[in-house]
């Protein structure tokens, strides 16, 4: 691969602070990338987070650039692409009401049993994202510092995951962000989303480049690396920006609009 045909990113702590909007520097870099190659963002966040954190900051894209942007919320269980008027859903693997109920009940009961249910969280602990149920131990709006201190070794998330999984057979239960557990349909993770993206775009996995902050084994970005997508580990959005400056300097001149 002389240069990637598609550059993909995790969102929280890779392109933006957790639950925060992308910085103007990242927005400008994404615009520069979109003038040259396709860009994909895949994250456990829901569709509304994508619209708030990313789309709202990229309002002035040219139609050709809009067509090169691929958005995969909830770990690729949903796929959005611009249809000429707005970012529309191409597919969505929503959970049934019964699956959602079972997942929500199991997460709450097992978190309480393990002493992991916070009495005073920053926002909702449980969230129904349609195609994904998410447990956020400290609440959806917890500050980054508190989140990073809650489970630095991953032991708490692993214990909750292992306790919940047998109660929801047929569903995928995995560690998400630094304080979260995500539940989707079986066999669906970021690897699934990237493979579907390859099928729908005709761009091979080996022609992609992925940036993520949790590429270590057990991290929620690791499945992308495991299926052979060339990957770059980053520490935060500033690190991503620095590495994108270097990447963009190596890419061919912008394609004609």
What is the rounded CA–CA span in Å between residue 177 and residue 137?
10
Q: Which of 10, 13, 38, 189 is catalytic?
A: 10
Q: Are 245 and 239 in contact (CB under 8 A)?
A: no
Do the annotations mark residue 180 as ligand-binding? Answer: yes
Do the annotations mark residue 182 as ligand-binding? Answer: yes
> For this structure, is 236 an active site residue?
no
> For this structure, is 83 an active site residue?
no
Beta-carbon contacts of residue 138 (< 8 Å; ≥ 6 apart): 118, 121, 122, 125, 146, 147, 150, 179
Do the annotations mark residue 128 as ligand-binding? Answer: no
The CB density around residue 204, as the number of other CB atoms within 10 Å, is 13
Q: 133 burial class (0-12, 13-18, 19+ CB within 10 angstroms)?
A: buried
β-pair partners for 133? 128, 183
Do the annotations mark residue 216 as ligand-binding? Answer: no
Please spell the DSSP secondary structure of 171-234, one letter per residue. Answer: EEEEE-STTEEEEEETT-SHHHHHHHHHHHH---GGGEEEEES--STTSTTHHHHHTT--EEE-
Do the annotations mark residue 129 as ligand-binding? Answer: yes
Q: Residues marked as binding for Mg(2+)?
A: 10, 12, 213
Q: Residues marked as binding for alpha-D-mannose 1-phosphate?
A: 129, 180, 182
By annotation, the residues acting in catalysis are 10, 12
Q: Residues marked as binding?
A: 10, 12, 129, 180, 182, 213
């Amino acid at each position: 691969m002389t240069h990637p045909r598609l550059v993909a990113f995790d969102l929280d702590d890779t392109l933006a602070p957790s639950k925060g909007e992308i910085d103007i520097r990242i927005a400008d870099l994404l615009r520069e990338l979109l003038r040259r190659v396709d860009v994909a963002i895949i994250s456990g966040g829901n569709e509304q987070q994508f619209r708030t954190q990313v789309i709202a900051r990229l309002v002035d894209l040219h139609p050709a650039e809009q067509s090169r942007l691929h958005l995969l919320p909830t770990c690729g269980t949903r796929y959005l692409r611009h249809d000429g008027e707005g970012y529309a859903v191409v597919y969505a693997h929503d959970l049934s009401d019964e699956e959602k109920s079972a997942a929500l009940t199991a997460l709450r009961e097992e978190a309480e049993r393990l002493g992991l249910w916070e009495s005073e969280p920053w926002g909702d602990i449980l969230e129904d994202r349609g195609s994904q149920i998410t447990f956020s131990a400290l609440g959806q709006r917890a500050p980054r510092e508190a989140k990073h201190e809650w489970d630095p070794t991953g032991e708490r998330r692993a214990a909750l995951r292992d306790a919940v999984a047998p109660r929801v057979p047929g569903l995928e239960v995995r560690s998400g962000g630094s304080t979260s557990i995500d539940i989707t349909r079986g066999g669906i993770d970021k690897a699934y989303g990237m493979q579907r993206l390859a099928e729908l775009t005709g761009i091979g996995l080996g022609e992609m480049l992925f940036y993520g902050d949790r590429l270590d084994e057990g991290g929620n970005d690791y499945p992308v690396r495991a299926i052979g997508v060339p990957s770059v580990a980053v520490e935060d959005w500033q690190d991503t920006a620095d590495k994108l400056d270097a990447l963009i300097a190596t890419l061919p001149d912008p394609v004609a609009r």
